[in-house]
Structure 1
Amino acid sequence: MDDILLAGAASDVCLRLPEPVDRGTLRRLVGEAQERLTAAGLRPGGAVALRLPPSLAYVAHLLATWRAGAQAVLLDHRLTDHEVDRALHRLHPQVVVAPVRTGGGALRVFVDVTAGVRPWSDRPAGSPHAVIQLSSGSTGPSKVIGRTAEDLVAEVRRYTQIDGVARPGERIILLPSMVHVLGLVGGLLYGLHAGVELCPPERLSGDAVLAAVAAQDTPATVLGVPFHIGLLASTVPSGPLPQLARMTTGGELVPTAVARAFTDRYGVPLGNMYGMTEVGVIGTDLYGRHRPAIAPAPGIRVRERDGELWVSCPANPYVGLADPTRWADGWLHTRDAGVVDPDTGLVTIRGRLDSQVSVGGLKVDLTEVEATVAGLPGVTAAVVVWDDGISAYVQHDGALTEDTLDRLLAERLAGFKRPRALHLLDQLPRTTTGKLVRSVPALREAVS
């Protein structure tokens, strides 16, 4: 990976945090991080669990892991200790990297981190992948996703062929987390490879994002998720922004009214990317010409089978799983509903076929949330649905309160996964065969 990520002149600036970080400095930091990992017991073929917020320390330890010939297990820093502990016991990394000090405040996009490196096990990595990413259902086998170095390199090179991405000498104003695929590959890895400066704003506010755009004269692409578009659409610029080239969003399709508010305010294209953790970028519409459709990314094939989108994926991306309902014969079954135009090849996504939803651009599996709720003391049955937000309907033993339930969930689920509405019932509705009813109107009626 070094040859496509860390090549270039030592004086070339690759990150602005907001102080510039050149490639020579980054190479030094990567070397120092590799020494710490090795001293903690990391060996080639092992794995490193990174539980760091977006930071220079995260970047250095990620690249050091790969330079050491090891696998990087990416753990969202917002996960609870309970969730992280379950992931570590499943994946058995040799080394864990976590903060011993964090500064800068909760709204900082990149934070000042002092990383602690500690040994965890002496096992080799459980698979040959370069990176392991955990989707929302990370405690189940189908939610542990691996990608090889070759696969990541191929996606980085795919980005270079997409019309509308930032080019060498330009900037990416990076908003999404680098633990997840859009920020990791579309931001960090592509930027390092292509010579595009990564410039996170100092804070996650509309004014701070616009200040990052205006800080230099070179063209800037804002990369984010729908939440960030709403943030900018509601922010009034203090003056002209000739540097702003476009904004590109991943995740669910932006509501038409929000998209119109953004383009009316800034007068630049609002692009859309569609992708999955398993394969990375699948399709794009970076000029906003085909909304709501997207064009398949170079080298990606998309087909529709019985209303479901299938995407070309040469190898099974799921670690420890051979599930033909998710992947078979070189095709990933996305569980997204959609259609492929036979004449243009454009793809229109209609929504999820399964229980996965998007909260602020982050994927949440309602099945995992439901299993967590159902496993709590005092809960006898639970149904979790999407009803303008994650809602949990809970049958209890009579002693449970909403405050206690909320506290228990806060210990076990990251904030973006937790139900926004909790409903305690003496009896959940069931079908005549005894199955729990999942109809939202029926559940609402049971509450009323």
Structure 2
Amino acid sequence: MTQHLQIGDLITRAARTFGAAPALVHGDRTVSFAEFDRLTDRLGHALLARGLAPGDHVAVLVPNGIDGVVAYYALAKAGLVRVPLNARETDVELAYKMTDSAARALITDGRIPAEADIVIGTAELDAMIADAPDSPCRVARDPEAPLRLAYTGGTTGKPKAVVLTTRSELAEVANFLVDLLPDLTPDSVMLHAAPITHGSGAFFLPHLVKGARNVILPKFTPQAFVDAAVEHGATATFMVPTMIAMLLEDAVIDRDRLRLSRLCYGGAPIAPTLLARGIETIGPVFAQLYGQAEAPLAITCLQPWEHTPERLGSAGKPYTFVEVEIRGADGAPVPVGAEGEVVTRGPHTMSGYWQRPEATAETLGADGWLRTGDIGRLDADGFLHLLDRRHDVIISGGFNVYPREVEDVLLTHPAVREAAVVGVDDARWGQRVAAAVVLRDRVDDQALLDHCAERLAGFKRPRLIERWDELPKSAVGKSLRRTVRETLQKSLEVSDHA
């Protein structure tokens, strides 16, 4: 097999270039570039010595910290396939992923959601590393061989395992370095506040290869984030919109003490009102990432200088190495400005779903174009405007209603902190619009209905609004519309029969 660039090669190259400089920081522990290279080599050897073979799947259930990052890249060096598990999920959810992914081994801080041939506790890692050979660990793998499995959010059904390869990982790094983080230097600092199992983890390699520092918070709390950003001189971070809302609500922010040049956000829709408030409070440093597990974090991006008032509802333009089209129901591209499904193509996209050939064929065409399942339009300047998920569109009286549009209107009311809009069954209209809201101040239902009536056509207005203490969310902060829909449907049925 022809030798191709491997993920381990990037780590070794960074070690040779930046040596003793700090690469990873977590609490009072700091790991240099040279030490990180050595730790991942040794652990790679140790994992293979435990009976694992290249190509085996290994689940990793470790909270944010250095142990998890070392495990991730030791797996890459040893030719083992990473299955990252989010510690915020339940044992039932984690057991499903371990079984579905056919994980042979589990690296864990103590939780064992399901049986595995090999279970390695984080307490064992130091001894395994100490006893392993002090030599490079390089299992060369084909660039199209699986590198990691990334599970979809499961917001509409059972999560599917997306197969990502060395090819897709290297392309993702290139997308970040060319478009999102072109100014990285050894003085840059990435502050990981979100789980490294998901979006935040994508920022690790781009910073590593440029000699920048990765600082990991064990858990996100608004004020702890601000304090850490000031202490470490953070220049970049990644958040989901829920985290941004918490930051603006609960933290004391002195923007003059922050070095942030990129506050990257994605993973869920964001209300333009929240975004405008963030820019006013923190500064013009926001960068939106639109992607999904099948095309990780890199379909389009909205740069900080593009966050003008008229663009706040946009998801930005395609990355340099990414193509985006809008296609109609017949699969043909639609004219500029017309609505349709967003499709994308690029070297970073998945090779398919693990053991789901039918789902792969439905999502990934033979020509490499990936169906995202999102509805959107491209404007004349090439900016993508997302309307909603294809499966979430509400059809009421024959008209399409996009939940995100209604949510954005509800969120412009000063009393509304969060909103989730869904379609519930209706004998007359097919579906009616229903909403669950989380309030920051008291307000009566009629005031909210009047607020919507002033801003939305009649068929788009909520016919049912419920006040909830919190919205159900996935482990990465996405609203679980399926759960909202089921709950509101039951509420409607009870009220109709009362």
| TM-score > 0.5 by shorter chain | yes
Whether the 8 Å CA contact 1:166–1:221 is kept in 2: the answer is no
Q: Which amino acid aligns with 2:19?
A: A
Whether the 8 Å CA contact 2:11–2:37 is kept in 1: the answer is no
- Asked if 1:226 corresponds to 2:273, the answer is no
Q: How far apart in 2 are the matches of 1:61 and 1:202?
A: 16
Deviations 1:219-275 (A, max 9, x none): 612321112211222222257325232311012232122222222222232221101
1:387 to 1:447, Cα distance in 2 relative to 1, 3 A: farther
3-state DSSP of counterpart to 1:199: strand
Q: Which amino acid aligns with 2:50?
A: A
Q: How far apart in 2 are the matches of 1:336 and 1:386?
A: 21
3-state DSSP of counterpart to 1:162: helix
- Asked if 1:154 corresponds to 2:149, the answer is no
Which of 305, 308, 312 in structure 2 is aligned with 1:291? 312
Which of 101, 120, 129 in structure 2 is aligned with 1:91? 101
Whether the 8 Å CA contact 1:304–1:338 is kept in 2: the answer is yes
Q: How far apart in 2 are the matches of 1:72 and 1:192?
A: 19
Q: CA RMSD in A?
A: 3.7
- Asked if 1:174 corresponds to 2:192, the answer is yes
1:94 to 1:242, Cα distance in 2 relative to 1, 3 A: closer
Measure how far apart 1:25 and its partner are: 2.0
Aligned to 1:406: none
Measure how far apart 1:160 and its partner are: 0.7
Whether the 8 Å CA contact 1:41–1:94 is kept in 2: the answer is no
Whether the 8 Å CA contact 1:141–1:318 is kept in 2: the answer is no
Q: Which amino acid aligns with 1:7?
A: R
Q: How far apart in 2 are the matches of 1:331 and 1:150?
A: 16
Aligned to 1:311: 344
Q: How far apart in 2 are the matches of 1:163 and 1:90?
A: 34
1:91 to 1:336, Cα distance in 2 relative to 1, 3 A: same
Equivalent pairs counted in the alignment come to 368
Deviations 1:121-179 (A, max 9, x none): xxxxxx93110111234998871200111111111011111155661221122222221
Deviations 1:29-74 (A, max 9, x none): 2134224322321112222111222221111111111101111112
Q: Which runs of 5+ in 1 are unaligned?
A: 102-111, 118-126, 359-363, 367-384, 391-409, 424-437
Q: Which runs of 5+ in 2 are unaligned?
A: 1-6, 112-120, 127-143, 329-339, 394-402, 405-419, 423-432, 439-471
Whether the 8 Å CA contact 2:255–2:282 is kept in 1: the answer is no
3-state DSSP of counterpart to 1:354: helix
Q: How far apart in 1 are the matches of 2:272 and 2:345?
A: 30
Whether the 8 Å CA contact 1:164–1:286 is kept in 2: the answer is no
1:148 to 1:25, Cα distance in 2 relative to 1, 3 A: same
Aligned to 2:82: 72
Deviations 1:319-341 (A, max 9, x none): 22244432213111111110012
Aligned to 2:322: 300
Q: How far apart in 2 are the matches of 1:21 and 1:116?
A: 15
Deviations 1:199-223 (A, max 9, x none): 2346422221111221145x61232
- Asked if 1:337 corresponds to 2:370, the answer is no
- Asked if 1:82 corresponds to 2:92, the answer is yes
3-state DSSP of counterpart to 1:198: strand
Whether the 8 Å CA contact 1:309–1:338 is kept in 2: the answer is yes
**Which structure has the highest helix share of the two?**
2
1:386 to 1:447, Cα distance in 2 relative to 1, 3 A: same
3-state DSSP of counterpart to 2:382: coil
What are the residue-to-residue correspondences of 1:232-243 with 2, within 5 Å?
Answer: 232-234=247-249, 235-237=251-253, 240-243=256-259
Aligned to 1:36: 46
Q: How far apart in 1 are the matches of 2:258 and 2:220?
A: 21
Whether the 8 Å CA contact 1:225–1:249 is kept in 2: the answer is yes
3-state DSSP of counterpart to 1:161: helix
1:419 to 1:165, Cα distance in 2 relative to 1, 3 A: farther
Q: How far apart in 2 are the matches of 1:23 and 1:17?
A: 14
Which of 176, 193, 196 in structure 1 is aligned with 2:209? 193
Q: Which amino acid aligns with 1:317?
A: G
Q: How far apart in 1 are the matches of 2:70 and 2:278?
A: 35
Measure how far apart 1:291 and its partner are: 2.2
Q: TM-score, normalised by structure 1?
A: 0.72
- Asked if 1:26 corresponds to 2:36, the answer is yes
1:137 to 1:202, Cα distance in 2 relative to 1, 3 A: closer
Deviations 1:339-389 (A, max 9, x none): 012x3221111111125999xxxxx9x9xxxxxxxxxxxxxxxxxx98437
1:443 to 1:139, Cα distance in 2 relative to 1, 3 A: closer
3-state DSSP of counterpart to 1:14: strand
Whether the 8 Å CA contact 2:63–2:218 is kept in 1: the answer is no
Measure how far apart 1:278 and its partner are: 0.7
3-state DSSP of counterpart to 1:100: coil
Aligned to 1:17: 26
Q: What is the identity percentage for the equivalent residue pairs of Structure 1 and Structure 2? A: 20
- Asked if 1:278 corresponds to 2:294, the answer is yes
1:350 to 1:29, Cα distance in 2 relative to 1, 3 A: same
- Asked if 1:53 corresponds to 2:63, the answer is yes
Q: How far apart in 2 are the matches of 1:138 and 1:347?
A: 23
Whether the 8 Å CA contact 1:49–1:97 is kept in 2: the answer is yes
Aligned to 2:386: 349
Q: How far apart in 1 are the matches of 2:475 and 2:288?
A: 27
1:100 to 1:296, Cα distance in 2 relative to 1, 3 A: same
Whether the 8 Å CA contact 2:342–2:375 is kept in 1: the answer is yes
1:54 to 1:6, Cα distance in 2 relative to 1, 3 A: farther
**347-356 or 170-179, larger mean C-alpha shift:** 347-356
Measure how far apart 1:445 and its partner are: 3.7
Q: How far apart in 2 are the matches of 1:72 and 1:292?
A: 35
1:16 to 1:96, Cα distance in 2 relative to 1, 3 A: same
1:237 to 1:131, Cα distance in 2 relative to 1, 3 A: same
1:156 to 1:238, Cα distance in 2 relative to 1, 3 A: closer
Q: How far apart in 1 are the matches of 2:475 and 2:84?
A: 15
1:52 to 1:11, Cα distance in 2 relative to 1, 3 A: same
1:286 to 1:164, Cα distance in 2 relative to 1, 3 A: farther
Whether the 8 Å CA contact 1:202–1:208 is kept in 2: the answer is no
**134-143 or 30-39, larger mean C-alpha shift:** 134-143
Q: How far apart in 1 are the matches of 2:215 and 2:44?
A: 25
1:92 to 1:202, Cα distance in 2 relative to 1, 3 A: closer
Aligned to 2:229: 213
- Asked if 1:129 corresponds to 2:162, the answer is no
Q: TM-score, normalised by structure 2?
A: 0.65
